[in-house]
Amino acid sequence: MANYAFLDENNIVVKVLSGIDEDDLSTLPEGFSSWEEWYGNLHGMTCKRTSVNTRFGKHKIEDPEQPGTGIMIDNPDQSKSFRVNFAGIGYKYDEELDAFIEPVIDESYESWVLDTTEGIYKPPVDYPDDGVSYQWDESITNWIVQPPEE
C-alpha cells in the first residue's frame, strides 16, 4: 500500500489517501506512467506519493529489538526517506526540494526559517531545555516565560 497527497493550485495538501503500491504497475491502466498520474487524473488534482514512515527527513522503522510495541527508530537505510515528511493536510509541497513542508506555526513569525533537511520552520533561537514553559515573542525574536493561565 502507498499513500498519495492531493494538492490545490498553491501546492497545499488538501487530502491524503491510501492507494495501490507504487511498485505494482501490473494493474496500472493503459496510458498512465505512474499511480501518481492515475490518481491525479481520477481526482482532477496534482497528486504526489508520500511516505508514512518519513518524518523530519528521516525514514523510520519499527525497532526490531521491541517488535509489536510501535516504537520507531531511524532506519539504517536512509535511502528510503521520501519527500522529507509524510504529507498532512495544510502541508506545502515544495517542487524545488521535492518535499512536503509543515506549515509555519504562526504566519506572523517572520523570523522563523525553513530547515530544508527536516522540512519544518524553526526559530532563530532554540527552545530552552530547562523544564519551564515558554512562548515565542516575535517582537524580540526570542522565547519568553509563558504566563500562567488565569
pTM of the model: 0.84
Confidence of residue 24 (pLDDT cuts 50, 70, 90): confident
H helix or E strand, kind and range, residue 135: strand 134-137
What's the average model confidence in pLDDT over 91-120?
93
- Sheet strands (E) in 13-91: 13-19, 46-50, 54-55, 58-62, 72-74
User: Where in the chain are the domains?
Assistant: 2-103, 108-150
Q: Which residue has the cell 487524473?
A: 41
67-96 pLDDT, tens per residue?
999 899 999 999 889 999 999 999 999 999
